[in-house]
Structure 1
Amino acid sequence: MRAAVGQAVLGAMLVAAVLAFATMQDFHGLHVAGVTRVTVAAGSLSAWLAFVAFVVRPRRSAAASATDILVVHASQTGFATELAERTAAMLRDGGKAAVARSIGELDAVPADAARLLFVVSTTGEGDAPDVASVFRRDAMGVRPRLYGLHYGVLALGDRDYANFCAFGHELDRWLRDGGATPWFDLVEVDDGDDGALRHWQRQVALACGTVATADWSRPAYGAWRLRERRLLNPGSLGGPCFHVALVPDDPASLRWKAGDIVEIGPRRARDDAELLPHREYSIASLPADGELHLVVRQVGVGSRWLTEGASPGDRIDLRVRPNASFHVPGDARPVLFIGNGTGIAGLRALLKARIAAGYRRNWVLFGERQANVDRLHVDDLERWQAEGDVERLDLVWSRESRGSRYVQDRLRASAVEVKRFVDDGASVYVCGSLAGMAPGVDAALRAIVGDRALEEMAAFGRYRRDVY
């Protein structure tokens, strides 16, 4: 490469000298022969410079040029990322060059892409994952020309929510409208359904000309034990809420990062033939605590079994799922933590991680019903503030306030301070209720920093949510 560049530069210098000589040879004949010589020399120079540009043009990385199939994931809780990486690994095992990338890294469909697979989740009541906000706005806001592109879409969702797999269907329509050709019909996955995932594997293998590996299934659950269960809100106007502590049979299983998700496996209640579904919870502790803590409200049969049916010492089938989209920043930037109810679980783990790392620019805004009974680990928050590990603590009690009843109201009332905090480089983390709180906080933040700014914060990991 260096030799080629050297030859190209030397040649350009030579042509430049020829051009200079041509113009000096017959200044008086400039309008006749001189022009001809200058034109010829200039043309030669242009041709050579074009060759130089070709030789020294920036090269695409080997990984990019060698990629045969790009697997794009849009994840809210890490499951879509996990499946995209499995898909790419399956294709590589079959001899294909494949790589998985987050949709947050893209502002459009790559111009040279010929084969794309999308693994996308839907959050809330039909919304795109936060990481997809800029792609949805900038790329999907226009009709592209995608003729020649072949693609497949795996849409993750939960039929308990309205607008099942809505973002996956929206993406599929946009690709079709742009002229792209689907390899196969969109594959819907309801709550991690194994049958739908097997169907995806086989469709991808058939379309890409490879062999499907062994059928996927949820990773095996480990054996954990219920060590402690404690009611956190006696006398509350809301449902009973419990602190739950679990320990693994194998101490090596005490591995996770703040922000990760726990899955409690399906089980049968005592003396009951009914199979209770798996449930997911935000983790409220760090491995250094020696226990895995949850904050569980007694809602639904699965949570009722964990908070009432199981006894201390009982086996709990459990696995931790990484959730990189909700991991704490690894630097000293300020962070605004916003949450309500059992959302304290995720915020508590993130704060523990920040404090352990020595980062103290933490602003916490937390809401519940009544100050004297709904103190879901609020003692921790107040202690951290007193010790200087929390810079500012706003507690909002909806049944006792005449002004800012909810966290979104307090956000709006503190708009100037919030804007200043964000301008200082703050990240924003939201954990808690999907109904009311999450959309209210989102609307308040949009009013404070602007739609485009908030969407770009989401795309670059400065606005992260774990809402349910």
Structure 2
Amino acid sequence: MTALRELAFPAPQNPHDVYALSTSKGAGYIDPSSGKRLAWQDNDVWQRVHETLFMLHTGEGLWWLALVLGVTSVCVPALAVSGIWLWASRRQAMPKLAKNVCAREADMVILVGSESNATWGFAAAIHQALTRADLRVHAASMNDLSPRYMKAKRLIILTSTFGDGDAPSNATQFLQKFAGLDLFAPVHFAVLGFGDRRFPNFCGYAHKVHEALCAKGMRPLTDLGMVDRQSESAFRKWVEQLSAALDVELELQYQPSLPRTIALRLVERKDYGTDTETFTSVLRFVRSSQANSAWQGLFNIRLPAFQAGDLIGIVPSGDTVPRFYSLASASQDGFVEICVRRHPNGLCSRYLTSLNLGDSIDAIFRTNASFRPAVDAAPLILIGAGTGIGPFVGFIRQNTARRPMHVYFGARRSGDSFLYGEELRRLMDTRRLTVLRTALSSPAEKTYVQERLLADAATLRELITRGAHIMVCGGSDMARGVANAWERILAGSGITVNDLKERGSYVEDVY
């Protein structure tokens, strides 16, 4: 009966009349006395299209497809709202720039790549200085690169670097867009990179952008500039070079741009070691609120989404530059956990390790997708020293599938200075941690983690043949020593550390 569309009965006063029948397949006539089909014609193309649409709307025949389309249509408003929210968030992160002309009318274009909004403060200072020099300037995010720079002769790019030489979130599309532009009006450019010299690929993304512009035939106004940890003096020195290249006097009025933060409250801490060389704190925070305690009880104040191994940036009191730490927890744990060693001259580490329970901090979160365990059952070889054990503890806690995890941990001393000692033993008992090898660098033992690796060379080579992944977290000197040890372990196998890195089986989070 679901195929029936229309049935017309014979007229009672006409004994020769017939049934007129229309179905999803076609139309015809039926003899009322014999029931035989007198004539029939199948649907043509347009009628078949109509029937398909009819089934989608009614669910007849293609009910499963109609259900899928129905669910999809319900998602459309949510996607629209989330898209608008993301767009508005990106726009809100941009400072309000006076006299920011449209792309078509600009003499000069400034494009900005920023993860935490700090680079926009430097860009705003240059924009204001150029505008005061009677230039028509257009500023935008790097992802908003446009072919409409008809009058612009010069392009200035200020960009930070995310992770190991990657683009910040508002610049991820820039290189692809730029490569697709056949004609590009500006012929001269200048690139200023922002980063941290403690990381191996300092200003790595700025290097990539500079090289891409040169490859396009554009001519640099200055050498690639690099600013270490948002140094204002380094920034001003580069602006002086830009001013000379443009033959324009730039009156710079720089105002630091604070990153967008959330408030966290310290609820638990555990301290390890007593002297200045070993004193380290494991700190746990929860989301804080400016509301009073009575209102806080009525609402579930959620943490932003993050995974162990992602980064948290802490802004010390009275400062504007965040310092980043690896997370030892995931948002589903309900708390934020970091492991911080107090450095004698470290502004942020002294600030954090001096916090009391109940104190609040301002923080930002960054994904670190390149430093997460691969999603498979292959063994993991986790190599860290000092506070580098933090994200590994987070990985092991989540290892409910009992995936083989082999930890090589370099510590200074045993006893009360051994980070996460009790918890690591519990994780061994529950088989979430398979093997724990420790190396103590105190004068009494003087053993390093790379020596432990070399001692287990045969076992480690066998793990690599089983597809094991290697993750390294800690200081750059330790990471270089570990890489050299792996070259010795892999000698004669036809595999190098670079081979493992290229296929994503050897990743580092190095500082």
Q: Which TM-score tier does this pair reach, normalised by the shorter chain?
A: 0.5 to 0.7
Cα shift readout 1:373-403 (whole Å, capped 9, x = no counterpart): 322002222222222222211122223775x
Provide the C-alpha distance between the structure 2 equivalents of 1:411 and 1:277, rounded to a whole number of angstroms: 37
Cα shift readout 1:136-165 (whole Å, capped 9, x = no counterpart): xxxxxxxxxxxx999975544335x59994
Cα shift readout 1:245-276 (whole Å, capped 9, x = no counterpart): 111126322420121000011413xxxxxx48
Q: What's the offset of the Cα at 1:172?
A: 8.2
Q: What's the offset of the Cα at 1:319?
A: 1.2
Decide whether the 8 Å contact of 1:230 with 1:244 is kept in 2: yes
Q: 1:237 to 1:313 in 2, by over 3 A?
A: closer
Aligned pair partner of 1:372 in 403, 406, 415: 415
Residue equivalent to 2:273: 233
Decide whether the 8 Å contact of 1:229 with 1:307 is kept in 2: no
Aligned pair partner of 2:467 in 408, 425, 430: 425
Provide the C-alpha distance between the structure 1 equivalents of 2:199 and 2:509, rounded to a whole number of angstroms: 18
Provide the C-alpha distance between the structure 2 equivalents of 1:461 and 1:118, rounded to a whole number of angstroms: 29
Decide whether the 8 Å contact of 2:192 with 2:206 is kept in 1: no
Give the stretch that moved more between structures: 455-464 or 436-445: 455-464
Q: 1:449 to 1:290 in 2, by over 3 A?
A: same
Provide the C-alpha distance between the structure 2 equivalents of 1:276 and 1:260, rounded to a whole number of angstroms: 21
Aligned pair partner of 2:496 in 431, 453, 457: 453
Unaligned segments of structure 1, at least 5 residues: 1-70, 84-88, 98-114, 124-128, 133-147, 204-214, 269-274
Decide whether the 8 Å contact of 1:259 with 1:328 is kept in 2: no
Q: 1:164 to 1:443 in 2, by over 3 A?
A: closer
TM-score using structure 1 length: 0.58
Residue equivalent to 2:226: 188
Cα shift readout 1:60-115 (whole Å, capped 9, x = no counterpart): xxxxxxxxxxx9x9x9xx989x99xxxxx935545559xxxxxxxxxxxxxxxxx9
Unaligned segments of structure 2, at least 5 residues: 1-110, 121-139, 149-154, 168-182, 243-254, 290-300
Equivalent residues in 2 for 1:212-251, closer than 5 Å: 219-234=259-274, 238-249=277-288, 251=301
Q: 1:118 to 1:413 in 2, by over 3 A?
A: farther
Decide whether the 8 Å contact of 2:196 with 2:229 is kept in 1: yes
SS at the partner of 2:461? helix
Provide the C-alpha distance between the structure 1 equivalents of 2:361 and 2:456, rounded to a whole number of angstroms: 43
Equivalent residues in 2 for 1:154-173, closer than 5 Å: 155-158=193-196, 161=198, 165=202
Provide the C-alpha distance between the structure 2 equivalents of 1:187 and 1:237, rounded to a whole number of angstroms: 36
Provide the C-alpha distance between the structure 2 equivalents of 1:459 and 1:158, rounded to a whole number of angstroms: 24
Q: 1:462 to 1:314 in 2, by over 3 A?
A: same
Q: 1:407 to 1:395 in 2, by over 3 A?
A: same
Provide the C-alpha distance between the structure 1 equivalents of 2:333 and 2:284, rounded to a whole number of angstroms: 10
Provide the C-alpha distance between the structure 1 equivalents of 2:273 and 2:225, rounded to a whole number of angstroms: 42
Letter in 2 for 1:295: C
Aligned pair partner of 1:287 in 328, 331, 343: 331
Query: Greater helix share, 1 or 2?
Result: 1
Q: What's the offset of the Cα at 1:411?
A: 0.8
Q: 1:410 to 1:307 in 2, by over 3 A?
A: same
Q: 1:181 to 1:224 in 2, by over 3 A?
A: same
Q: 1:178 to 1:419 in 2, by over 3 A?
A: farther
Equivalent residues in 2 for 1:65-84, closer than 5 Å: none
Decide whether the 8 Å contact of 2:316 with 2:347 is kept in 1: no
Cα shift readout 1:259-315 (whole Å, capped 9, x = no counterpart): 1000011413xxxxxx4853211111222322111111111122111111x332222
Aligned pair partner of 2:431 in 371, 383, 388: 388
Letter in 1 for 2:488: A
Decide whether the 8 Å contact of 2:327 with 2:336 is kept in 1: yes
**2:457 aligned with 1:415:** yes
Letter in 1 for 2:487: R
Residue equivalent to 1:363: 406
Q: What's the offset of the Cα at 1:169?
A: 8.5
Provide the C-alpha distance between the structure 2 equivalents of 1:393 and 1:305, rounded to a whole number of angstroms: 32
SS at the partner of 2:305? coil
Provide the C-alpha distance between the structure 2 equivalents of 1:415 and 1:291, rounded to a whole number of angstroms: 38
Letter in 2 for 1:446: E
Q: What's the offset of the Cα at 1:191?
A: 2.3
Q: What's the offset of the Cα at 1:462?
A: 1.4
**2:138 aligned with 1:90:** no
Provide the C-alpha distance between the structure 2 equivalents of 1:429 and 1:164, rounded to a whole number of angstroms: 17
Residue equivalent to 1:17: none
Residue equivalent to 2:350: 304
Decide whether the 8 Å contact of 1:276 with 1:302 is kept in 2: no
Provide the C-alpha distance between the structure 2 equivalents of 1:248 and 1:216, rounded to a whole number of angstroms: 26
**2:475 aligned with 1:440:** no
Letter in 2 for 1:444: A
Letter in 2 for 1:158: D
Alignment length (residue pairs): 327
SS at the partner of 1:346? helix
Larger Rg: 2
Provide the C-alpha distance between the structure 2 equivalents of 1:118 and 1:458, rounded to a whole number of angstroms: 29
Provide the C-alpha distance between the structure 2 equivalents of 1:425 and 1:131, rounded to a whole number of angstroms: 26
SS at the partner of 1:296? strand
Decide whether the 8 Å contact of 2:405 with 2:434 is kept in 1: yes
**2:507 aligned with 1:464:** yes
Letter in 2 for 1:327: R
Provide the C-alpha distance between the structure 2 equivalents of 1:288 and 1:373, rounded to a whole number of angstroms: 29
Letter in 2 for 1:466: D
Q: 1:182 to 1:379 in 2, by over 3 A?
A: farther
Provide the C-alpha distance between the structure 2 equivalents of 1:188 and 1:405, rounded to a whole number of angstroms: 37
What is the percent sequence identity of the aligned residues?
28
Decide whether the 8 Å contact of 1:258 with 1:328 is kept in 2: no
Decide whether the 8 Å contact of 1:267 with 1:277 is kept in 2: no
Equivalent residues in 2 for 1:326-337, closer than 5 Å: 326-337=371-382
- Greater relative contact order structure (CA < 8 Å, 6+ sep): 1
Aligned pair partner of 1:259 in 302, 305, 309: 309
